[in-house]
Amino acid sequence: MEMKRVFLKLSGEALAGPKKTGFDENTVKEVARQVKESVDAGVQVGIVIGGGNFWRGRTSDAIDRTKADQIGMLATIMNCIYVSEIFRNAGMKTQILTPFECGPMTKLFTKDRASKYFEKGMVVFFAGGIGHPYFSTDTTITLMAIEMEADCILLAKSIDGVYDSDPKVNPNAKKYDRISIQEVIDKKLAVVDLTASIMCMEHKMPMAVFSLNETNGIANAMQGNINGTIVTAN
C-alpha cells in the first residue's frame, strides 16, 4: 500500500500512557520520532487526536450533551497544541487547524490552507472535531481524510488489529488480516463508529488498524507495512 498522504488517529488515552490522564511526554516523544521518519521520507501526515485523556463525553445528566461535546472539542485542541509542540521539538514543522476561530492558537480550516501546509512538508493537526456536537473524532478523521484526498486512515489502537470478537474476553478470537468495511458494518465490529464507517464505504477510503504499542508500529504503517488489519473500502 503506497502512502503519499496519510491521516493518523491517536486516542487521547494513548497520549496519557500509563498515567491514564493528561500527557506522558515519553510516549508522545516516541510517536514524534516515528512520524518524523515518514515526514523526512516525504510522506504528508495529517493527525486527529481524541480527547479521552481529559474528557470522556457526557457522564452526568447535569450537563447538556451539546455542552459536553463542546468540552470534548476543546480537549482535542489542548492535545493537538501539546503534541504539535513535541513534534516541533523533534524537528518537524506543524500547524493546527480548527473548524472555528480559536484566537491566535490555531488557524481556521480550509482545504486550500491545509493543502498549502502539506505541500510545505508540515504535519497538519485537525483539532476541534467538525465543530458541531454529536460527531466523534472517528467522524472527524474520516471527513478530513476524504476531503483532503488521503490515501489511507491509520488507526493506532491499544489492540493490534480487528478481531471477530473481543480478544480480552474470548481467547479464541480470530484476527483479520484483511476485511472489507461492509463486513465491519454487517458484523458490528466497531472499528470506527457507524457514521465514519458508512462514510468510508461511500467514499472508498481504506483504513489500517494496528497497535500503538508495537515497536515502530506507526513508522511501519506509514511506510505501508501493516502488521495489523487492513480494512478495504470495497
Look at residues 147, 183, 117, 158 and name the one whose alpha carbon lies nearest to residue 14: 158
pLDDT in tens, 92-137: 999 999 999 999 999 999 999 999 999 999 999 999 999 999 999 9
Arithmetic mean of pLDDT, 1-30: 89
Q: How far apart are CA 6 and CA 3, in angstroms?
A: 6
In a 13 Å sphere around the CA of 216, the CA atoms on its Cβ side amount to 7
Which pLDDT belongs to residue 61? Answer: 83
pLDDT in tens, 167-226: 889 989 999 999 999 999 999 998 999 999 999 999 999 999 998 888 999 999 999 899
Query: 140-158 as b/e, with b when 16 or more CB fall inside 10 Å?
Result: bbbbbbbebebbbbbbbbe
> pTM for this one?
0.94
Q: How far apart are CA 137 and CA 53, in angstroms?
A: 14
Decide if 19 contacts 167 (C-beta within 8 A). Answer: no
Which pLDDT belongs to residue 71? Answer: 95
Decide if 45 contacts 8 (C-beta within 8 A). Answer: yes
Look at residues 46, 72, 54 and name the one whose alpha carbon lies nearest to residue 13: 54
pLDDT in tens, 42-89: 999 999 999 999 998 777 789 999 999 999 999 999 999 999 999 999
